Structure 1
Amino acid sequence: MTVPGGFTASLPPAERAAYGRKARKRASRSCHGWYEPGQRRPDPVDLLERQSGERVPALVPIRYGRMLESPFRFYRGAAAIMAADLAPLPSSGLQVQLCGDAHPLNFRLLASPERRLVFDINDFDETLPGPFEWDVKRLAAGFVIAARSNGFSSKEQNRTVRACVRAYRERMREFAVMPTLDIWYAQDDADHVRQLLATEARGEAEQRLRDAAAKARTRTHMRAFAKLTRVTAEGRRITPDPPLITPLGDLLTDPAEAGREEELRSVVNGYARSLPPERRHLLRHYRLVDMARKVVGVGSVGTRCWVLLLLGRDDDDPLLLQAKEASESVLAAHTGGERYDHQGRRVVAGQRLIQTTGDIFLGWARVTGFDGKARDFYVRQLWDWKGVARPETMGPDLLSLFARLCGACLARAHARSGDPVALAAYLGGSDRFDGALTEFAQSYADQNERDHEALLAACRSGRVTAARL
């Protein structure tokens, strides 16, 4: 994978800063506040239907049903729409490894291999090199949409976005003067977040962090094992909950699914080859006993996603893996950069570049299905100390603080893959970029509401079918 921004890393800091300031001529900081839909803007429902054409048909109505629940839920599934909207806008040309879908719910508490809680980005399905501002704009607009869902005033919405973008800008300026290895090792662990709360907030915020950390530590593979499996005559097996969780054995009663078991075993075998030797050795201690199709998220609904149950020493020694289909990034058609011949490997490589800590079982595989189509997957553990934020339960002050954490976290991700010196010089010490992103976020939140209404209209007319599950 090409490391974005690496072409400036060998230059002296003064030249790297000059490169960043020169980028303002391509796209001034103020110009990022502008957004208006173009006359040739694609129909948002068309974009969603195109994506749906590659997905499991029976699950597509669930995706639409989840997106219809609210503008914020719609936004979570509309990364392809926003990518098409960002592409025509002025670009800084300052490349980083983008998350590609940096909305607020993709930031959460995670477990490090050392069993420490860290705050980091979680979803990398759309990761690809691109202009740094695309991630910042998606995050900023997401906070306006979340704040509107909570009934916040325009002033409160803007304060949340400014907190997010200011934290991004100020932390990037900190990274600009740090040694390279210090940037790479930087983490936002739970202790760091707790210190921030002790400085910036009291009471509710500190208690919410303690509760979130405690809950995250309960979301272990053993809890997933207890929740998702049951004892049968054949031993431990995955518990059915159709259509959200459908064991492979139930799917195989459909003649159209004949041959699926062999295909999935090929995923496991191919995945093992992607792991380092010591991880392959660890994986050999487990045997595959059951598989089930699982519906996940909002934007991902309909992609082929499987839960794999493996057992080690006995039935109380489980390993739960998730094998998720990886399609081409929604950004790929708009970046003009390199294309990847393996989408699962793209996701894994991007995650390793962005995240400060990684799942030891993270890997990828390609299989040719019984239908003759080659499909790429990436594999990771299911549930491993994950603490999910709940913006809908946050008041204005707490949401602004959460926005600060997300903005600073995104800056760290971009500093690892891009040039923090050039990025900091571009952003500058004033709040010009912060103000521009606040304007953009409001305009794009309006657009998102219109697109949500378009999907509602498509459902009412029968153009698409939605299922509320």
Structure 2
Amino acid sequence: MTTLSTAPTPRTPTERAESGRRVRGRLPRSAHAQFAPDASRPDPVGVIEAQSARRVRALMPIRYGRMLESPFRFYRGAAAIMAMDLGALPDTGLGVQLCGDAHLLNFRLLASPERHLVFDIDDFDETLAGPFEWDVKRLAASFVIACRAEGFSTREQDTAVRECVRAYRQRIREFAGMRTFDIWYARDDADRMRTLLDTPPSKEARQRGDEARARALTRTHMQAYEKLTRVTDEGRRFTPDPPLITPLRDLVDDVAEDMPENDIRAILESYARSLSSERRHLLANYRLVDLARKVVGVSSVGTRCWIVLMLGRDDDDPLILQAKEAQESVLAPFTGGGRYDNQGRRVVSGQRLIQSASDIFLGWTHVLGIDGRGRDFYVRQLRDWKGIARPETWDPDVLTVFAQLCGASLARAHARSGDPVAIGAYLGGGDRFDRALVTFAQVYADQNERDHAALQEAVRTGRITTASL
């Protein structure tokens, strides 16, 4: 289990920097290259099965089927396995609010409350305080695994990782010299993103960036409304697409524990109390119309997720909220847990702390199922200007540019919640940490492939049942 420093933060920049440099004596930067699990490492399939036991059983074959598709898809669903592996390693103790699942597809273009397009982290299901390098290692390994999926050479894989980690290190050191307010208000909008790159991007990279921005601007709540709903005799309702989208009215004979016993309006009122007063006022202008269960992502399949259709003035004035179950972070067993009695609040608090521009409807609630079990949820808009990375369409140069943006964005998130002076001093001006993580990422990608093969074997022998959707 990691031990984060509980001593008072040194008051002067010199003292803070010295505290970071002292960590090198206990954990040299080159040591981060090491990953060599022994025979006592738990069975990776067993780790996934234990996590699945807390989820909707009927949806688990979908989760396993998606993870089975490729080592990269497996990695996206295997945050619990990597948390176990990272928790067994020596760590710096230089704490930040971790994303907890910082793989490359969890970085994307988003809409700020001021309607600006920004680049930021967008997945906080596993967020918790922990050593900064855990996020960096998960991000670095994701680039090797994604590069291998596209057939890139080892040299191209290593370049992406090196540029990602170097961008992180250089920017955290940049933040070390900034005023506290300037760190807090930093955000990566379209103009800022260009300055984060050491060299001008290629024509291909510029074109891909322009396409991504244009695509993100089309992914609005109105687009989601048109795609997910239809006109019925009762008015606008969610379009059934079971098992991926199943309206509440069609779940009568479904798994009992997945049904909310609480009156839906009472649940919304409870959620509204987690919002600021002006946002509660805004929400009150919408009326509840429909509710459906939704299957989401790869790592989240089987967690209970509801989409809520609300209308304002008329049918052309929709709001779609997503209420997603928040379970204990996969990091909790290795960090001592957290201070929150509501896991939805943990997610929201972590997101507000490290994301530069959070959704105005981000909040949390608690739901009682008809099985008598209480479950925590966090709530946000379903879709609002989200641009999702598509590495399968990129060449190595484009992926390397994206790696730099991800590393720099992660540094901004960590600087808000941790001590950039101490972290920057630990990392230093040289590339020892960068080179160490290039090695780590390759070694961990090998391990991920072995774990993916273990899942394939579990399917072959009938231990695991899959479904393709």
TM-score, with normalisation over the residues of structure 1?
0.97
Q: 1:169 and 1:75 mapped to 2: Cα distance?
A: 24
Deviation (angstroms), 1:26: 2.3
Figure out how many residues of one structure are paired with residues of the other and give that number. 466
Tell me, in whole angstroms, the C-alpha distance in 1 between the residues paired with 2:163 and 2:56: 40
Structure 2 vs 1, CA of residues 438 and 238 (structure 1 numbering), >3 Å: closer, same or farther? Answer: same
Q: Deviations over 1:357-380 (max 9, x none)?
A: 010000000122211101000000
Instruction: Kindly indicate whether residue 420 of structure 2 is the aligned counterpart of residue 452 of structure 1.
Output: no
Relative to 1, partners in 2 of residues 1:20 and 1:70: Cα closer, same or farther, differing over 3 Å?
same
Distance of 1:390 and 1:264 partners within structure 2: 36
Q: Which moved more, 1:336-345 or 1:179-188?
A: 336-345
Once residues 254 and 332 of structure 2 are traced to their aligned partners in structure 1, the CA distance between those partners, rounded to angstroms, is 35
Q: Specify the SS of the correspondent of 2:273.
A: helix
Q: Which residue of 2 aligns with 1:408?
A: 408
Name the counterpart of 1:53.
53
Summarize the alignment of residues 52-451 of structure 1 with structure 2, pairs less than 5 Å apart: 52-195=52-195, 199-254=199-254, 256=256, 260=260, 262=262, 264-451=264-451
State the SS of the aligned residue for 1:365: strand
Unaligned runs of 5+ in 1: none
For residue 340 of structure 1, what is the amino acid of its counterpart? Y
Partner-residue secondary structure (3-state), 1:298:
coil
Distance 2:392 2:335 in 1: 33
Residue 198 (structure 1) shift:
10
Contact 2:197 2:404 (8 Å CA) reproduced = no
Residues of 2 paired with 1:226 and 1:284: CA distance?
Answer: 23
Whether the aligned pair in 1 keeps the contact of 2:197 and 2:405 (CA below 8 Å) is no
The verdict on how the C-alpha distance between 1:128 and 1:117 changes in structure 2, with shifts beyond 3 A counting, is same
Q: 1:255 to 1:118 in 2, by over 3 A?
A: closer
Moved more, 404-413 or 190-199: 190-199
Following TM superposition, by how much is the alpha carbon of 1:207 offset from its aligned partner in structure 2, in angstroms?
A: 1.1
Q: For residues 115 and 254 of structure 1, do their structure 2 counterparts lie closer, same or farther at Cα, with a shift above 3 Å needed?
A: same
Distance 1:38 1:224 in 2: 47
Q: What is the CA deviation profile of residues 387-441 of structure 1, one whole-angstrom value per residue up to 9, with x for unaligned ones?
A: 0011122111111111000000000000000000000000001100000001100
Give 1:37 deviation, angstroms. Answer: 1.2
Partner Cα distance (1:70, 1:240) in 2: 29
The CA distance in 1 between the partners of 2:102 and 2:445, in whole Å, is: 15
Identity across the alignment (%): 69
Native 8 Å contact 1:6 1:418 kept in 2: no
On the 8 A contact 1:5/1:418 being kept in 2, the answer is no
Change in 2 beyond 3 A, CA 1:359/1:5: farther
Q: Distance in 2 between matches of 1:265 and 1:344?
A: 18
Q: Which amino acid aligns with 2:351?
A: Q
1:203 Cα deviation from its structure 2 partner:
1.2
CA distance in 2, matches of 1:283, 1:6: 40
- The CA RMSD measured in Å over matched residues stands at 1.6
How much does 1:261 deviate? 6.2
CA contact (8 A) 1:26 1:90 kept: no
Task: For 2:129 and 2:110, locate their aligned partners in 1 and report how far apart those are by CA, in whole Å.
Answer: 24
CA-CA distance at 1:73 after TM superposition? 0.3
How far the C-alpha of 1:199 sits from its partner, in A, is: 4.9
> Do the aligned partners of 1:287 and 1:310 also contact (CA within 8 Å) in 2?
yes
Cα distance change on mapping 1:333 and 1:198 into 2, 3 Å? closer
Contact preservation (8 Å) 1:344, 1:377 = yes
CA distance in 2, matches of 1:259, 1:159: 48
- Give per-residue Cα distances to partners, 1:80-111, cap 9 Å, x unaligned: 00000001111101000000000000000000
Aligned partners of 1:196 and 1:276: how far apart in 2? 34
Unaligned runs of 5+ in 2: none
Give the TM-score of the pair, scaled to structure 2.
0.97
After superposition, what is the alpha-carbon deviation per residue over 1:87-139, rounded to whole angstroms, capped at 9, x for unaligned?
11111010000000000000000000010000000000000000000000000
- Structure 1 residues 366, 84: closer, same or farther in 2, change over 3 A? same
Cα separation, 2, equivalents of 1:153 and 1:258? 45
Q: 1:408 to 1:6 in 2, by over 3 A?
A: farther
Mapped contact 1:62–1:466 kept (Cα < 8 A)? yes
Distance in 2, matches of 1:45 and 1:81, equals 9
* 8 Å contact from structure 1 (residues 8, 16) kept in 2: no
